[in-house]
């Protein structure tokens, strides 16, 4: 991992079969970066494309030495893995991620930089008049509200990859070695301060979305499991609810039996149901307990750093010795 902070701005862009978009993407990104008057690098990560993208990236890197870096992965690992690969090689003080399909206009980058210049760690974006299908918009609004509840971080749009991160957050993310990562959420878990700004969103003009329905589902699972072990706890809640309703049903049957006589409720058949509910509930509770342990194992196996020290002020001989 490089740690040079000479470079002010790194763009990290995952590319998967985007040959039709690359030329325009590179042209527009270079233009924007030059306007910012910062030392910059554009890191293009080819995620195992089968079209001309890797060759085009290599050519661009040769043509713009010191400005464009190409990282070619040997096969397709998925957008977020590709972004992580780009982050490991990036060395800018500010890192901006965006999509290669020009749905995130590079011209919006200076707006993000204005925010990071205020000292904000993670700058998210809200897509104004989002140009995606109704299904995509609907499912992402569901997911966004779920994430807000689970993480407690009030951001409106987790799906938009046009985002800016400060170097300390990037370094923190790189210390997380878990396989299924969802970068915006991971970043927020290390961000001291976040903000969110509105940006334009364009329709995809060239090529198709690289997310099939199945890939979207697997992404949602990555997202869900990356942010919490709450689904495991849900088992205990479910079990308790079933067991309590079974018990209440049993009590109700008993009262009614005394009131209405033995003939009532099919001569005890319903009592069996009540018992069954209680046992099923107990099983779920047991599963939920197992889940609690698994959740803790999961947290430990991921071995995310527990905290990050921003700065140490003052010194003692002990701390100096460790440096
Ligand atoms: N992408 C990638 N690997 C993949 C799928 C997508 O690197 O396996 C890249 C893709 O080239 C694009 C970005 O991730 O730059 C977002 O993909 P896409 O535009 O297809 O997603 P959508 O806009 O439909 O959510
Ligand atoms: Mg897209």
pLDDT at 41: 95
pLDDT per residue as tens digits for the range 195-230: 999 999 988 888 888 888 888 888 888 887 877 788
Range of the domain at 148: 4-228+306-322
pLDDT at 136: 85
Distance 259 CA to ligand 1 centre (A): 66
Ligand with minimal distance to 100 CA: 1
The CATH number that applies at residue 17 is: 3.90.550.10
Distance 314 CA to ligand 2 centre (A): 48
Distance 26 CA to ligand 2 centre (A): 16
Whether residue 63 sits in one domain with residue 203: yes
Whether residue 247 sits in one domain with residue 217: no
Q: Is the CB of 15 under 6 A from ligand 1?
A: yes
pLDDT at 319: 61
- Residue closest via CA to ligand 1's atom 16 equals 99
Whether residue 201 sits in one domain with residue 89: yes
Whether residue 167 sits in one domain with residue 48: yes
Q: Is the CB of 195 under 6 A from ligand 1?
A: no
Instruction: For residues 234-241, give the mean pLDDT.
Output: 91
Q: Is the CB of 79 under 6 A from ligand 1?
A: yes
Q: Is the CB of 273 under 6 A from ligand 1?
A: no
pLDDT at 4: 52
Q: Is residue 3 very low, low, confident or very high in pLDDT (cuts 50, 70, 90)? A: very low
pLDDT at 210: 87
Token pair of 321 as six digits:
């010795």
Instruction: For residues 239-248, give the mean pLDDT.
Output: 93
pLDDT per residue as tens digits for the range 115-135: 999 999 999 999 888 888 888
Whether residue 199 sits in one domain with residue 188: yes
Whether residue 237 sits in one domain with residue 224: no
pLDDT per residue as tens digits for the range 143-172: 888 777 776 667 788 888 999 999 999 999
Whether residue 114 sits in one domain with residue 250: no
pLDDT at 1: 44
Check whether 16 has a pLDDT greater than 50: yes
Whether residue 90 sits in one domain with residue 37: yes
Instruction: For residues 292-320, give the mean pLDDT.
Output: 80
Range scoring the smallest mean pLDDT among 43-52, 85-94, 186-195: 186-195
Distance 100 CA to ligand 1 centre (A): 7
Using a pLDDT cut of 90, give the percent of the chain over it. Answer: 54
Whether residue 124 sits in one domain with residue 54: yes
| Total domains in the fold of the chain | 2
Beta-carbon contacts of residue 124 (< 8 Å; ≥ 6 apart): 155, 156, 157, 158, 160, 163, 184, 194, 195, 196, 197
Beta-carbon count within 10 A of 50 CB: 11
Instruction: For residues 233-261, give the mean pLDDT.
Output: 90
């Amino acid at each position: 991992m490089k740690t040079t902070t000479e470079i002010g701005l790194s763009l990290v862009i995952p590319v998967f079969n985007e040959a039709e978009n690359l030329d325009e993407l590179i042209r527009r990104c270079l233009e924007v970066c030059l306007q910012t008057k910062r030392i910059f690098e554009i890191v293009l990560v080819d995620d195992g494309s089968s079209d001309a993208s890797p060759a085009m990236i290599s050519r661009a890197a040769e043509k713009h030495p010191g400005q464009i870096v190409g990282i070619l992965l040997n096969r397709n690992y998925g957008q977020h893995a590709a972004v992580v690969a780009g982050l490991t090689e990036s060395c800018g003080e500010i890192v901006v991620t965006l999509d290669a399909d020009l749905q995130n206009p590079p011209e919006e980058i200076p707006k993000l930089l204005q925010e990071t210049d205020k000292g904000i760690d993670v700058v998210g974006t809200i897509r104004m008049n989002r140009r995606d299908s109704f299904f995509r918009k609907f499912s992402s609004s569901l997911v966004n509200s779920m994430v807000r509840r689970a993480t407690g971080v009030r951001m409106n749009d987790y799906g938009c990859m046009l985002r800016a991160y400060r170097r300390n957050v990037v370094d923190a993310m790189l210390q997380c070695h878990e396989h299924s990562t969802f970068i915006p959420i991971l970043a927020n878990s290390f961000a001291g301060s976040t903000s969110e700004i509105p940006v334009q969103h364009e329709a995809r003009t060239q090529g198709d979305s690289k997310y099939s329905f199945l890939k979207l589902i697997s992404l949602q699972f990555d997202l869900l499991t990356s942010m919490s072990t709450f689904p495991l706890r849900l088992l205990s809640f479910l079990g308790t609810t079933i067991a309590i309703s079974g018990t209440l049903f049993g009590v109700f049957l008993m009262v009614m039996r005394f009131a209405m006589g033995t003939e009532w409720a099919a001569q005890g058949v319903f009592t069996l149901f009540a018992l069954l509910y209680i046992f099923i509930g107990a099983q779920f509770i047991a599963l939920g307990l197992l889940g609690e342990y698994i959740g803790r194992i999961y947290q430990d196996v991921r071995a995310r750093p527990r905290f990050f020290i921003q700065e140490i002020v003052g010194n003692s001989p002990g701390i100096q010795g460790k440096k």
